[in-house]
Structure 1
Amino acid sequence: MAGYDMTTTSNPNTAVPSAGNNDLIYQLDDRPAFAPAIFAALQHVLASFVGIITPTLIVGNVLGLGAYVPYLVSMALFVSGLGTFVQAKRIGPIGSGLLCLQGTSFAFLSAILSAGMIVKSRGGSPEEILSTLFGVCFCAAFVEIAFSQVMTKLRKIVTPVVTGTIICLIGLSLIKVAMTDIAGGFGAADLGALHHLGLAALVLTTIIVLNRFQSQVVRLSAVIVGLALGFAVAWFTGRVDFATMAEVPLVSVPVPFKFGFSFDWLAFVPIAVIFLITPLETAGDLTANSIISKQPVKGPLYLRRIKSGVLADGCNSAMAAVFNSLPMTTFSQNNGVIQLTGVASRHVGYYIAAIFIILGLFPTLGAVLQLMPKPVLGGATLIMFGTVAVAGIRILAEAGLHRRNVLIVAISLGLGLGVAAVPGALSQMPDFLKNIFGSPITIGALSAILLNMFLPEEDLEQEEDDYEPESHLHTVLQNPQDDEAQALAPNLEAAAKLN
């Protein structure tokens, strides 16, 4: 933090910044003074804020949840604070003990929307939709909790080609949501009007321009600035109405399962599949975080951190469902903030948690964000969803696109995108199978996993040569003492998710 006084106070409980030949001002277990700690915490909050609230805004808009959206946004911030505290503090075996931020995951968005549509198609009310979503997410979170205990043993089933295919499919299947918002939103009478497209173009252009700056601070704030500018223009042109703000309560009280608890197998399956994929991305983020924080990336301490961090992901997602929010995962954005600030202290995580919890208790913020015109949101989410797809492509490229892998990817993407484009193709199936295989994520994931298991290897020795250790966490988990794999580990962040 150039130009900022990083010296500590005379408080005996405050550690002096660690010295050394690295670029960290505060190490993992250092205790920064209040001023530098809160300053670093605010940068983490700004870098992740949009990613935390956007999935909830999209779900609320698409499923027609209306008046409940401000409360849901508040709960998303509230549980992000609780989850961040658990990861940083490490409660028993739960939590990585790193400065890693928890937030709502984009990876689940497509499956969540499909689950909500199943209930809505039956004539379900918004309360019934939310009851089913949170009930299903609570149960599905235990898939990740169980997976965290055996993830090293399943590396031959959920390989980089499977992970990359599913992540790519998640991003591509969400592009339709972003483009619909750009055009004016679902059900808009003037869908595709030029004023919608112009507003989205303004947001998109702003984000692109700011991302080209050399300053990391400017780049980290690009999405927030783009959304703020689009919102301001919409306000000045009379497209934002604050009349409904008077009805918003002053405080949001977290109520466990406020909308009830329901379960639906058809909604459960696609969400459970995603809970098998996000642990691998979380492991990549935690590895990158360990490297940036100057922590070991081999040996028992590292493996314990991975296992405990993924376990915390699952437990935090279950907790999120209890408090009426969507599944959570670790965010990769804060790795860049650690590099920017030089502050890797996990104690900063407590400040981040406190800020999110305070923000979550006041629904006014969520009510204002709900007023954001859909083209403004679409201009930003188009980039986000496209980047998710690109992250999947990068994993596939690093895994090696030889003949066998190309076949797996081509069939899986073809099936997933095919049923999304032509849902009538499954119209003659029984309803149970139609609802399961009608989800692009489910059919694509099952296809990738089954093909990966049963297609014979063309040349095992050659494929091992082609598979580079940096392509994913699998090699590190398989050979934690391999110095060459650890030397290449910094590239794991390229395979990490973004939220």
Structure 2
Amino acid sequence: METPASIEKLGQDQDAVPYASSTSEGVEQHQKNSWQYLKHYFTSREGWIGDYDYVYLITPNIWPLNRKYKNYEAPFYGLDDEVPILLTVLLGLQHALTMIGSIVSPPLAIAGGAFNFDAEITQYLVSAAFITTGIATALQVTRVHIAKTPFFIGTGLLSVVGPTFDILPIAFNYTSMRYANGTCPTAADGTQLPCPDAWGAILGSMLCTVWIQIAMSMVPPKSLNKIFPKIVTGSLLLLVGVYLISNGMQNWGGSSNCNGGTGYYALCPNIDAPKPLVWGNPKLIGLGFSVFVTVILVEQFGSPLMKSASIVLGLAVGCAISGATGYWSNSNITAAPPITFLWVHTFKLSVDGALILPLLIMFICEAVSCMPDILATAEISNVDIEGTQFNSRIQGGILCDGIGSLISAFGTGLPMVSQAGNNGVISLTGCASRRAGWCASGFLVLMGIFGKFGAVFGSMPPSVLGGMQVFLYSTIAVAGIRVLGLIAWTRRNRFILTASLGIGFIDIVQPSWFSQILDYSGSNVHLQGFEQGINLIVETPFIVAAVIGVFLNLVLPRDRSEMDRKVRESGGAGLVLEGRGE
């Protein structure tokens, strides 16, 4: 859709007067034009509604309702195009709804599965994740120039930032280690109690290690791609997805704590739940399927607005069914504060040497893995994907992720990374305007401030959460497969993948395989911390795979055979030929 003529003309008149005019007349004229523009934008029908077909957003993909839009192409709004206010609000909400699943899943997984926090702390971590995500996304969309330098903070795209899933394997392995060595409390019957000091150690260690990602933002993207090629980033995404799917399935069956649990966790999610059942009970599996199937049905038959919020709708259906059948407890929602903010709950910060190496590697991987997401967002936003400006967007995106993680750690939240999950919304609605991104940021901050909103996610039955997590985590594994599909399947690349994925999959199927190798029990605390750090690296799937992949990629000679040259030139088609025996 073209910008309304009157608004477009005012925008052109506004640009006609330089911002830095040296004459008082120029400044006065610019202020007058700006006022006229704003007055028209906020008081006219064109400014508020425009001529966008809003019915398209809510029309289900069901015959005969969808006949009108069978070959419909949504109008496109560029980064800085004028978008009607109503449409800006609707699309901003749409982007915010798209992000909810990926925002709530990491803190819920960490709070319940790693640190055994109670409902109050869990609700707070969810709220903190929404607030820090909104702040980081606003910074990413705005793109702030660092004075007197060629560097920026942010991509300047409708590129969203959210909690990274890569922290989950580190957190799970770290808390398992601390419960095993007695530095996290355990009840007399073996039940693991909340361990806030462990989360404080992760926060403090994050504040010390995130600087490597900030430093990497100053490295040219081409150099980063040489050291961390697609064969590395693709394998780490695949392993993270597969690892997290197993965690999501634990919740789907009832809860990770009650799978073989005793005492308080003899039944799922615990013996005090409204309807406790054994892990894997068909009723619990059915609750998770209600979410999973709803997501699929919405994708098939839903309107554009519904499709972008399919995860939220799936959770809504799962919550409705679990509530109607008596599996839902409202006590935590009732007890939650109406309004909350960062630092309502705080954690004792510390630095654990066992976390330094794993977190350094994680932040290095974050700096590289966000690059394809930024590329995808730039491509769908119809901006250049090559050249100096695009490289500047990559640099700004990496730096924004690092600063976002720094801000989040200070705010007791999880580390941040750029995501491309909202690209489907840009494609469906044809809106890449940054105004929608700023509006989405505002909605996310508001969602975090209203404590009852976070309490809903913290109180839902684990089976409902697990159904959403399995679907969401599967998208990470699929993203890894997509990246690996872009490499040339030469003998060298297949060898690197075989070695790195082989060890990575060991960590998933036998997570404690390495724990006895460096089992130090002496009095040297520093040596013990170092060996625990090595264990944490080796037993975290995507980290050990990234280390092996980067090392082999740097030391192995390039393929020189004629067959491998043909595979490289065909962009990987050699794999298909090999499979057919040709």
TM-score range, shorter chain: 0.7 to 0.9
Q: Is the 8 A contact 2:231 2:497 kept in 1?
A: yes
Q: Is the 8 A contact 1:256 1:323 kept in 2?
A: no
Kindly indicate whether residue 161 of structure 2 is the aligned counterpart of residue 97 of structure 1.
no
Which of 108, 117, 123 in structure 2 is aligned with 1:65? 117
Which of 412, 419, 422 in structure 1 is aligned with 2:510? 422
Q: Which moved more, 1:410-419 or 1:365-374?
A: 410-419
| Partner Cα distance (1:460, 1:328) in 2 | 42
Q: Which moved more, 1:178-187 or 1:391-400?
A: 391-400
Q: Once the 2 structures are TM-superposed, how far is the Cα of residue 388 of structure 1 from its aligned partner?
A: 1.4
Q: Once the 2 structures are TM-superposed, how far is the Cα of residue 464 of structure 1 from its aligned partner?
A: 6.8
Cα distance change, pair 461–71 in 1 and its aligned pair in 2 (3 A)? farther
Q: Which amino acid aligns with 1:41?
A: G
Cα distance change, pair 109–461 in 1 and its aligned pair in 2 (3 A)? farther
State the partner residue of 2:170.
Answer: 111
Q: TM-score, with normalisation over the residues of structure 1?
A: 0.86
Q: Which amino acid aligns with 1:155?
A: N
Which of 176, 199, 209 in structure 2 is aligned with 1:130? 199
Alignment RMSD: 2.9
Secondary structure of the corresponding residue to residue 212 of structure 1: helix
Cα distance change, pair 302–375 in 1 and its aligned pair in 2 (3 A)? same
Q: TM-score, with normalisation over the residues of structure 2?
A: 0.74
Q: Is the 8 A contact 2:134 2:445 kept in 1?
A: yes
| Partner Cα distance (1:319, 1:263) in 2 | 17
Q: Once the 2 structures are TM-superposed, how far is the Cα of residue 215 of structure 1 from its aligned partner?
A: 4.4
Cα distance change, pair 264–351 in 1 and its aligned pair in 2 (3 A)? same
Q: Once the 2 structures are TM-superposed, how far is the Cα of residue 370 of structure 1 from its aligned partner?
A: 1.0
Q: Once the 2 structures are TM-superposed, how far is the Cα of residue 82 of structure 1 from its aligned partner?
A: 0.5
Deviations 1:440-476 (A, max 9, x none): 22222211111222222222887576458999xxxxx
Cα distance change, pair 284–266 in 1 and its aligned pair in 2 (3 A)? same
Deviations 1:81-138 (A, max 9, x none): 1011111112222111112211112233222322333344433353202201212223
Q: Which amino acid aligns with 1:195?
A: K
Secondary structure of the corresponding residue to residue 260 of structure 1: coil
Kindly indicate whether residue 231 of structure 2 is the aligned counterpart of residue 179 of structure 1.
no
State the partner residue of 1:449.
Answer: 550
Q: Is the 8 A contact 1:200 1:378 kept in 2?
A: yes
State the partner residue of 2:78.
Answer: 27
Identity of counterpart residues, as a percentage?
29
Q: Which moved more, 1:320-329 or 1:438-447?
A: 438-447
Q: Is the 8 A contact 2:124 2:345 kept in 1?
A: no
| Partner Cα distance (1:183, 1:443) in 2 | 29
Q: Show structure 1 runs of 5+ residues with no match.
A: 472-499
State the partner residue of 2:93.
Answer: 42
Which of 26, 29, 37 in structure 2 is aligned with 1:12? 37
Q: Is the 8 A contact 2:295 2:313 kept in 1?
A: yes
Q: Is the 8 A contact 2:7 2:37 kept in 1?
A: no
| Partner Cα distance (2:303, 2:510) in 1 | 44
| Partner Cα distance (2:311, 2:200) in 1 | 32
Instruction: Write out aligned runs for 1:363-378 (5 A).
Output: 363-378=451-466
| Partner Cα distance (2:305, 2:315) in 1 | 16
Deviations 1:221-241 (A, max 9, x none): 222111111111111111111
Instruction: Write out aligned runs for 1:456-475 (5 A).
Output: 456-459=557-560, 466-467=567-568
Q: Which amino acid aligns with 2:37?
A: P
| Partner Cα distance (2:217, 2:563) in 1 | 30
Q: Which amino acid aligns with 1:52?
A: I
| Partner Cα distance (1:256, 1:148) in 2 | 32
| Partner Cα distance (1:242, 1:7) in 2 | 52
State the partner residue of 2:187.
Answer: none
| Partner Cα distance (2:342, 2:123) in 1 | 13
Cα distance change, pair 221–348 in 1 and its aligned pair in 2 (3 A)? closer
Deviations 1:282-324 (A, max 9, x none): 2222222222222222222111111111111111111111111
| Partner Cα distance (2:98, 2:562) in 1 | 43
Kindly indicate whether residue 318 of structure 2 is the aligned counterpart of residue 230 of structure 1.
yes
| Partner Cα distance (2:78, 2:548) in 1 | 44
Secondary structure of the corresponding residue to residue 103 of structure 1: strand
State the partner residue of 2:238.
Answer: 168
Q: Is the 8 A contact 1:77 1:357 kept in 2?
A: yes
Q: Is the 8 A contact 2:210 2:363 kept in 1?
A: yes
Q: Once the 2 structures are TM-superposed, how far is the Cα of residue 340 of structure 1 from its aligned partner?
A: 2.1
Instruction: Write out aligned runs for 1:100-499 (5 A).
Output: 100-121=159-180, 122-124=182-184, 125-150=194-219, 151-188=221-258, 189=267, 190-213=278-301, 215-255=303-343, 258-431=346-519, 432=531, 433-459=534-560, 466-467=567-568
Q: Once the 2 structures are TM-superposed, how far is the Cα of residue 79 of structure 1 from its aligned partner?
A: 0.6
Secondary structure of the corresponding residue to residue 428 of structure 1: coil
Cα distance change, pair 397–245 in 1 and its aligned pair in 2 (3 A)? closer
Q: Which moved more, 1:346-355 or 1:216-225?
A: 216-225
Q: Which amino acid aligns with 1:12?
A: Y
Structure with max Cα Rg: 2
Deviations 1:228-268 (A, max 9, x none): 11111111111111123333222213229921321123223
Q: Is the 8 A contact 2:489 2:567 kept in 1?
A: no
Q: Is the 8 A contact 1:116 1:133 kept in 2?
A: no
State the partner residue of 2:275.
Answer: none
Q: Once the 2 structures are TM-superposed, how far is the Cα of residue 343 of structure 1 from its aligned partner?
A: 2.2
Secondary structure of the corresponding residue to residue 412 of structure 2: coil
State the partner residue of 1:82.
Answer: 135
Secondary structure of the corresponding residue to residue 425 of structure 1: coil
